[in-house]
Homo-oligomer: A and B are copies of this chain.
């Protein structure tokens, strides 16, 4: 349980008290070998399965939002009934498979830099995201 230290640090540095619920959520989100996408519902399920502590829904929502604010998580723009979040906070894009309701990363180097020529007075661009919707390719190889 020594690795919990890094999360305690991380939380404290960003002004969040390191409670056992938050540390658990950090473990689930940031111990993973690979970054991943999740919905709140899925996150709750993972916590339930792998932890022996009980975390309420409200806490999960609060924590996820706090982490987004701190830049530890990213919300993925997708017009879906549930919000999707990403533990990969580097600049990258997504495929969204509408048939399987599945998100797939597209690395930054797989998309040419998106250069937007239009500007809005008094505003600056905070982020640029590309969403490519994909569907089954049922072409009979012509």
| A interface with B by C-beta (< 8 Å) | 75-80, 83-84, 93, 95-98, 104, 106-107, 110-112, 114-118, 120, 122-137, 139
> Can you report 30 A-B residue pairs in the complex whose CB atoms are below 8 A from each other?
A76-B79, A77-B78, A79-B80, A79-B84, A95-B120, A95-B125, A97-B123, A98-B126, A104-B120, A106-B116, A106-B118, A110-B117, A110-B118, A111-B114, A112-B115, A116-B130, A116-B132, A122-B137, A123-B135, A124-B135, A125-B133, A125-B134, A126-B132, A126-B134, A126-B135, A127-B132, A127-B133, A128-B130, A128-B131, A130-B130
With A77-B79, A79-B83 in contact, do A123 and B136 touch (Cβ < 8 Å)?
yes
The residues of B that contact A78 with a CB separation of less than 8 Å are 77, 79
